[in-house]
Amino acid sequence: MDSLIYHNDRIIPLVEARLSPGQMGLLMGWGVFTTLRIYQGVPFAFDRHWERMVRDAERLGVAFDYHQETVWEAIVKLAAANHRPEGAARLSFVKNHGGLWADAPGCPATDLLIFTRELAVWPASHKLLLVPNAIFSIGKLAGAKMLSWVQNAGTLERVHAEGFDDALLLNEHGHLAECTSANVFLVRGGRVLTPPLASGCLPGITREALREVIPAAGYTLLEQDLTPGDLDSAAEVFISSTTREVAGVGSIQPKWKYPAPGKVTRELEAAFQNYVKAHLQPATDPRS
């Protein structure tokens, strides 16, 4: 994490940041967050990240008293202050009040926290572990990107300890849903298949962009229920996320292996890079 952060309305050194120990969002994981990719000093697809956070905040009952343009400018200023023209930003809205143990006097309804950092180093070929019953697709908050992320974070820590790069999570119906922090795609013939949002997967921003990129690259994109049996007939598998963009999967335990990155994955990775270049907002223009 970089040495400067943005807290509510100003940039301050990380070591000087002070949060109330009675802050409801910290005690209960009550809030929303997103991870943004910074290209050329500006966050990519910020409008889409913002729209998702607004939806999730409403579902969680988190006050959203900040303006989109103000927050966009805060990310740009923080990236510049941290000399981070290329990297990642973490944007969080943390609920302060409510509940028996809350005690955050003088704090606003919601704290705004923004961090930046260098990009994580991801492997060229991902190794995944299939994990059953890891997503509850019909839950009220299924697919919400909220601060209470311990199930995903704990799963990722466990599979890392076992030598894997991520987990491929199944929902309660035995359908493929997502990885702990990425969406999943299967390539079969001239088609690219991905689980629908009804699987309980997160509506990833890169996933959303790929819904435009994939057809434009000449491939049919289908959102449909997928089971581990579909992994048998897949020619390639790839995952997508803000920090990984489009990344090939070389193996899924217990039994699947793929070329990684495969031909289609490489084509879509290049097409996504071109998409980013075409849609990157100027540093002086916060409009969507």
State pLDDT tens for residues 137-195.
Answer: 999 999 999 999 999 999 999 999 999 999 999 999 999 999 999 999 999 998 999 99
Cα 75 from Cα 260, distance rounded (Å)? 34
What value does the mean pLDDT of the chain take?
Answer: 94
The answer to whether 32 and 60 are in contact (CB under 8 A) is: yes
Cα 159 from Cα 178, distance rounded (Å)? 15
State pLDDT tens for residues 84-97.
Answer: 999 999 999 999 88
The answer, yes or no, to whether residue 288 has pLDDT greater than 80, is no
Q: In the prediction, which pLDDT does 20 show?
A: 81
Q: Is the peptide bond before 195 cis (omega within 30 degrees of 0)?
A: no
**Token pair belonging to 193:** 């298949």
Q: In the prediction, which pLDDT does 18 show?
A: 86
Average pLDDT over residues 18-45: 92
Global confidence as pTM? 0.94
CB neighbours of residue 48 within 10 Å: 18
Q: In the prediction, which pLDDT does 283 show?
A: 61
Share above pLDDT 70 across residues of the chain, in percent, rounded to a whole number: 98
Please give the domain boundaries of the chain with CATH numbers for all domains. 4-117 (3.30.470.10), 125-276 (3.20.10.10)
Write the Ramachandran bin of 83: left for phi over 0, alpha for psi from -120 to 50, otherwise beta: left
Residue, of 135 and 99, whose pLDDT is higher: 135
Average pLDDT over residues 201-207: 98
